[in-house]
Structure 1
Amino acid sequence: MNGEVTDRQHAAPHTRGDSWWQRAVVYQVYPRSFQDSDGDGVGDIHGILQRVDHLAELGVDVVWLSPIYRSPQDDNGYDISDYQDIDPTFGTLGDLDELLAALHARGMKLVMDLVVNHTSDEHPWFVESRSSPDNPKRDWYWWRPARPGMEPGTPGAEPTNWASFFSGPAWEYDPATDAYYLHLFSRKQPDLNWENPKVRQAVYAMMRWWLDRGVDGFRMDVINLVSKDVRADGSLLDVPVEEGPYGDPGVATANGPRLHEFLQEMHREVFEGRRDGLLLVGETPGATVEDGKLLTDPARGELDMVFTFEHVSLDHGPGGRFDLVPLDLRDLKATLGRWQAGLNDTGWNALYWNNHDQPRVVSRYGNDREYRRESAATLAIVLHLHRGTPYLYQGEELGMTNAHFTALDQYRDIESLRYAAAESERGRLSEEQLLAQLAAGSRDNARTPMQWDDSPQAGFTTGEPWIAVNPNHDTINAAAALADPHSVLHVYRRLIALRHQDPVVQRGHFRLLLPEDPHLYAFTRTLDDEQLLVLGNFSDADRTADIGPGWDDAIPVIGSHPEPSTPAHGGRVTLRPWESVVLRRTLTR
């Protein structure tokens, strides 16, 4: 096998100490879709409490909650109007305290979603800011006049040509004060001006309040967008545009010049003196490996780990998430391998396939038809055997699939609906083409209700769910998975237990093998004398791997199939469609 380890040159990695989260697995709960306790069709905190034992039995160490703060729900809670209260849709602060106690009693931690690049336009800070150009909170947000010589409120008069990530311009004209405010996302999500130290101090005070309440850390939403590229005169950069009136603002908004300064200040102001046991993970769209090394270097005092977007963008064509192209496995291996190598000596990886913004991975990178169970299990095994902290999104442990919606009125996601409206106005796509794009790329694929059983609403609610339940819940559900010892659920339980117990999985050096094979994913993890070989077949046909000598007596550790394939004499392993296997051997001196 190309890259086979035959000596001990790379056997012992550099380690950053024994941090608890090297042994941990995080589970993301999207509260709106997890469990409804009162029959209104929307998940809530009491519903999560009803399912805490599912999380404990799965074995996860941390529960990350998507936003449950008070919000107008323009972007399903990522538009926050009060950072220190719970939206009545989900419950009360007392309910959250009860959930926190229940998780802690079972040895699990609770991480809150921190959304501080922007607020809701209904947040009191913004209400004050837009009330007058002279208001003390005016410069808590980005306000700018129209372009010189342009009529305010007309197309092209925006201060810069930045596009919103949710379609259209990133600036909204406010006639009350004859100025524009910046919103990289929805117009109801104005961006906070982190150049203002009063903004930062208000955010830090809020974070300390949550830590005092007992939460165990934060997942920081688009945190690398808080530093914009600002000229000395306070103006913002325009973005070169190749097509259309507005351009991707990432070059001027992601990983800006003061990002590290802001994060280090946050660390000093919020986390010093109470750092043990906390988890700090940043969502960092557009971050490179070099950015990741800086952000997660423990000596710099910024973050523990970051979410890269590179591996979940490999099937995006020029048009983004709704312009999908086939995945080339070689690109996936190269991307994840680059992050593994880059953060080996400094920093740490966050490992994930799914979250509330990504289509279901078994439908995306696997085969959710003939080989749903096998491909879901293989995707799990391959990811969890990388070096880093795995993140598991609700329903992933069941092998839940995309929704496969067939009508526009089934969608609820603001990004999907605005894309559909923009494309319908352009008239470039037929209705069939548009629906096919949404069915593959929409964030709603991740947001259909959790499938607990085969009852009419999958055990999620006794009412009408806020978004339709996937019809396949009659066969794909937690009750069925629990009863089947070979289900995806039980693969995840074994994977989580393996990470808790095995130092090689936690800290072993990663080495990619077969980088040019278009069907097989192969790598080793090595720590001292112990070595694991991970093999995954990402295809619908049998594939044979030549793994070289020394593996004939290897011990199978875990696999996607009840009876895993093992090496034949001569160092060859034939894997069935979507089969994966992990083998262990002791290296000879």
Structure 2
Amino acid sequence: MSETVDTAGQTKRWWKEAVAYQIYPRSFADSNGDGIGDIPGIIEKLDYIADMGIDVIWLSPHFDSPNADNGYDIRDYRKVMNEFGTMADFDRLLSEIKQRNMRLIIDLVVNHSSDEHEWFVESRASRDNPKRDYYIWRNGAKGVPNNFTSFFGGSAWEKDEATGDYYLHYFAKKQPDLNWDNDEVRAEVYDLMRFWLDKGVSGFRMDVIPFISKNFDFPDLSEDELKDPAVVYASGPRLHEYLQDMNRKVLSHYDCMTVGEAAGVSEAQTPLFVDEARKELDMIFNFAVVMLDRDGWRWKERRLTDMKATFARLDQAVGETGWNTVFLGNHDQPRAVNHFGDARLAFRELSAKALATMMLTMRGTPFIYQGEELGMTNFPFTSLDQFDDIEVRGLREDFVATGKVSEEDLLWHLNKTSRDHARTPMQWDESENGGFTTAENAWLAVNPNYKDINAKAACADENSIYHHYRKLIALRHATPALVYGSYRDIAPEDEQIFAFERVLGDERLITIINFSGEPVMWDEKTVEGAEVLISNDQRRDKTIPGVELTLLPWEAVVLRPAQ
């Protein structure tokens, strides 16, 4: 887009105009046949990503880690995980990305570290160790400090045998929480941020960043709060002070983008993080949409009207001085086509294209998770033993082992909600293990449908989901209204159709999507004579002849109304 583009009051930023693609390195491409994805494997596939029109790659944690939580337990923030390669490999990856006119952002995981990080090794050594206060400790003589729970099951407090005291861990016991009230801890974090920014990365996705501030009174959670402790964990008293300090001392000195993972943050609280005047973050991942059909690990029914209303509230919340992300999947969510579309054979491709159409024409920076562009589906788990996720092990211990839930019931829900669905290896071709690895077995089983759903077949088919993404991304790049235009839901009460408009100056575009497996009539004068900019159904004419538009099952169109 040109420098003179109308932004309707929005500050022009490259990351608002970008389309991002998330890589989960363990599952993307294995170059050395050990069953684990790696950085050289990513380099081999960069043309595939660039050809889609992607602007930014988000690389999930690549740091040295004992892998208690698949890399989100970091042992050394300045070292690459051995399974993934070397720092020289990372430097080459960054160079190759830039050569293709893309940028790289990486994970910043600083609410907690690994218990094998040198800071914690020292911290737990004795009560008078200089790094004792790098983490959060409470006297063990008084028993468990409070009833805080871990997201991975059990108490959020672990008694350490060295001193008999308890340390706090919102996640696994091998992920002790850092003490951000300690000035030295913040200085260490800012220094490691500069290390990667000076290398040339273009920003950070910040893992569970709202949790970094703690209420050191540690009051017990109420019964309701125990059902969703993230709300309490995300409301520490110094959170925004910390984020503003980080921005002032580090981020404001670089041309970078920041996106915070915002569990526990409501729509109403969103502007506190992303309003430009506050100088905190550029945008956040708000989970209100992806959690509509969730009650913890349990699945529940979701209505289209609820989803549309949530998108509208999120858009209204950021206003003209903030910015949103748009996403349906990531490494912590089930596959988008199962979650929001229809993975049945008759509708998988159409619904995957419909979801892409929605994401890439909404207001906010779109994030595509690896495999979404192929319509990859949930894995058909038949046993809890097939899961790798530490969260599933915790659920099994907390619910099945105690007799609260049957193994069959837990499995039924996890087949809809588990994040392991997104972590199965990328399906590159029809060869063994989907072309992900030459090893006999990948670290996590490849979805058995890889012979039908893979990148090689998608790239060769002009009508594939992959090429639909390419067309949508090109349209977004060429159309300022799809970036900076206002957003309005024009059918908020319809339970089958999602229709919204994007308006910038004199330009108005309308996206209409049939979220059902049945034909639906859309009767609006606005479509008469409209130009069809893109459709996921090849039978659609280039112009709408009358006021009635019959949308075929899972059909999605982007229209430019006649003047």
Q: Deviations over 1:177-233 (max 9, x none)?
A: 111100000000000011111100000001001111111111000101101223xxx
Classify the secondary structure of the residue corresponding to 2:420.
helix
Summarize the alignment of residues 439-450 of structure 1 with structure 2, pairs less than 5 Å apart. 439-450=415-426
Aligned to 2:443: 466
- 1:442 Cα deviation after fit: 1.2
- Larger displacement relative to structure 2 (519-528 or 341-350): 341-350
TM-aligned CA distance change 1:391 to 1:250, over 3 Å: same
**Are residues 1:87 and 2:81 paired?**
yes
Decide which of 190, 195, 202 is 1:209's aligned counterpart.
195
Aligned to 1:174: 160
Amino acid at match of 2:484: R
Give the Cα–Cα distance (whole angstroms) in 2 for the partners of residues 249 and 351 of structure 1. Answer: 25
Aligned to 1:254: 234
Amino acid at match of 2:289: H
Q: Deviations over 1:82-101 (max 9, x none)?
A: 00000111000000000000
What is the CA RMSD across the aligned residues, in angstroms?
Answer: 1.6
Give the Cα–Cα distance (whole angstroms) in 1 for the partners of residues 231 and 392 of structure 2. Answer: 24
**Are residues 1:408 and 2:384 paired?**
yes
**Are residues 1:35 and 2:29 paired?**
yes
- Larger displacement relative to structure 2 (70-79 or 18-27): 18-27
- 1:14 Cα deviation after fit: 4.2
Aligned to 2:540: 564
Classify the secondary structure of the residue corresponding to 1:495.
helix
Aligned to 2:324: 349
Decide which of 96, 102, 107 is 1:108's aligned counterpart.
102
Give the Cα–Cα distance (whole angstroms) in 1 for the partners of residues 542 and 510 of structure 2. Answer: 11
Classify the secondary structure of the residue corresponding to 1:289.
coil
- 1:21 Cα deviation after fit: 1.4
Aligned to 1:308: 286
Contact 1:114/1:218 (CA < 8 Å) preserved in 2? Answer: yes
Give the Cα–Cα distance (whole angstroms) in 1 for the partners of residues 372 and 422 of structure 2. Answer: 9
Give the Cα–Cα distance (whole angstroms) in 1 for the partners of residues 266 and 543 of structure 2. Answer: 38
Give the Cα–Cα distance (whole angstroms) in 2 for the partners of residues 249 and 17 of structure 1. Answer: 35
- 1:327 Cα deviation after fit: 1.6
- 1:433 Cα deviation after fit: 2.0
Summarize the alignment of residues 65-144 of structure 1 with structure 2, pairs less than 5 Å apart. 65-144=59-138
- 1:146 Cα deviation after fit: 4.3
Give the Cα–Cα distance (whole angstroms) in 1 for the partners of residues 438 and 188 of structure 2. Answer: 41
- Larger displacement relative to structure 2 (569-578 or 262-271): 569-578
Give the Cα–Cα distance (whole angstroms) in 2 for the partners of residues 122 and 493 of structure 1. Answer: 43
Aligned to 2:491: 514
Give the Cα–Cα distance (whole angstroms) in 1 for the partners of residues 182 and 401 of structure 2. Answer: 39
Aligned to 2:3: none
- 1:570 Cα deviation after fit: 5.4
Aligned to 1:269: 249
Decide which of 11, 14, 21 is 2:15's aligned counterpart.
21
Aligned to 1:298: 276
Give the Cα–Cα distance (whole angstroms) in 2 for the partners of residues 361 and 176 of structure 1. Answer: 45
- TM-score, length-normalised on structure 2? 0.96
Structure 1 portions without partners, runs of 5+: 1-11, 149-156
Q: Deviations over 1:84-139 (max 9, x none)?
A: 00011100000000000000011010101000000000000001111111111111
Contact 2:529/2:545 (CA < 8 Å) preserved in 1? Answer: no
Contact 1:13/1:345 (CA < 8 Å) preserved in 2? Answer: no
Q: Deviations over 1:148-185 (max 9, x none)?
A: 4xxxxxxxx42111110111111001122111100000
Percent identity at matched positions? Answer: 50
- 1:569 Cα deviation after fit: 5.7
Contact 2:115/2:174 (CA < 8 Å) preserved in 1? Answer: yes
Classify the secondary structure of the residue corresponding to 1:104.
helix
Structure 2 portions without partners, runs of 5+: 1-5
TM-aligned CA distance change 1:551 to 1:165, over 3 Å: same
Give the Cα–Cα distance (whole angstroms) in 2 for the partners of residues 38 and 527 of structure 1. Answer: 49
**Are residues 1:187 and 2:179 paired?**
no
Q: Deviations over 1:380-415 (max 9, x none)?
A: 101211101000110000000001111222211111
Give the Cα–Cα distance (whole angstroms) in 1 for the partners of residues 132 and 23 of structure 2. Answer: 35
Q: Deviations over 1:335-378 (max 9, x none)?
A: 01111122232200111001000000101111101300011010
- 1:66 Cα deviation after fit: 0.5
Contact 1:239/1:248 (CA < 8 Å) preserved in 2? Answer: no
Decide which of 402, 410, 416 is 1:434's aligned counterpart.
410
- 1:517 Cα deviation after fit: 1.0
Aligned to 1:154: none
Amino acid at match of 1:285: A
TM-aligned CA distance change 1:514 to 1:550, over 3 Å: closer
Decide which of 36, 56, 71 is 2:50's aligned counterpart.
56
**Are residues 1:390 and 2:366 paired?**
yes
- 1:425 Cα deviation after fit: 1.1
Contact 1:162/1:247 (CA < 8 Å) preserved in 2? Answer: no
TM-aligned CA distance change 1:242 to 1:528, over 3 Å: closer
Aligned to 1:159: 145
**Are residues 1:328 and 2:310 paired?**
no
Decide which of 504, 508, 511 is 1:531's aligned counterpart.
508
Classify the secondary structure of the residue corresponding to 1:282.
strand
Contact 2:532/2:557 (CA < 8 Å) preserved in 1? Answer: yes
Give the Cα–Cα distance (whole angstroms) in 1 for the partners of residues 461 and 337 of structure 2. Answer: 19
Aligned to 1:540: 517
Bigger proportion of residues as helix: 2
Amino acid at match of 2:236: G
**Are residues 1:283 and 2:258 paired?**
no
Give the Cα–Cα distance (whole angstroms) in 2 for the partners of residues 586 and 196 of structure 1. Answer: 60
Amino acid at match of 1:429: V
Q: Deviations over 1:529-549 (max 9, x none)?
A: 1111111111111111222x2
Corresponding residue pairs, total: 556
Amino acid at match of 1:200: R
Contact 1:524/1:534 (CA < 8 Å) preserved in 2? Answer: yes
- Larger displacement relative to structure 2 (164-173 or 422-431): 422-431
Contact 1:162/1:248 (CA < 8 Å) preserved in 2? Answer: no
Q: Deviations over 1:429-463 (max 9, x none)?
A: 33322221221111110000000001111010000
TM-aligned CA distance change 1:539 to 1:287, over 3 Å: same
- 1:48 Cα deviation after fit: 0.4
- 1:291 Cα deviation after fit: 2.1
Contact 1:110/1:215 (CA < 8 Å) preserved in 2? Answer: yes
Amino acid at match of 1:347: G
Contact 1:504/1:527 (CA < 8 Å) preserved in 2? Answer: yes
Give the Cα–Cα distance (whole angstroms) in 1 for the partners of residues 317 and 264 of structure 2. Answer: 16
Contact 1:565/1:581 (CA < 8 Å) preserved in 2? Answer: no
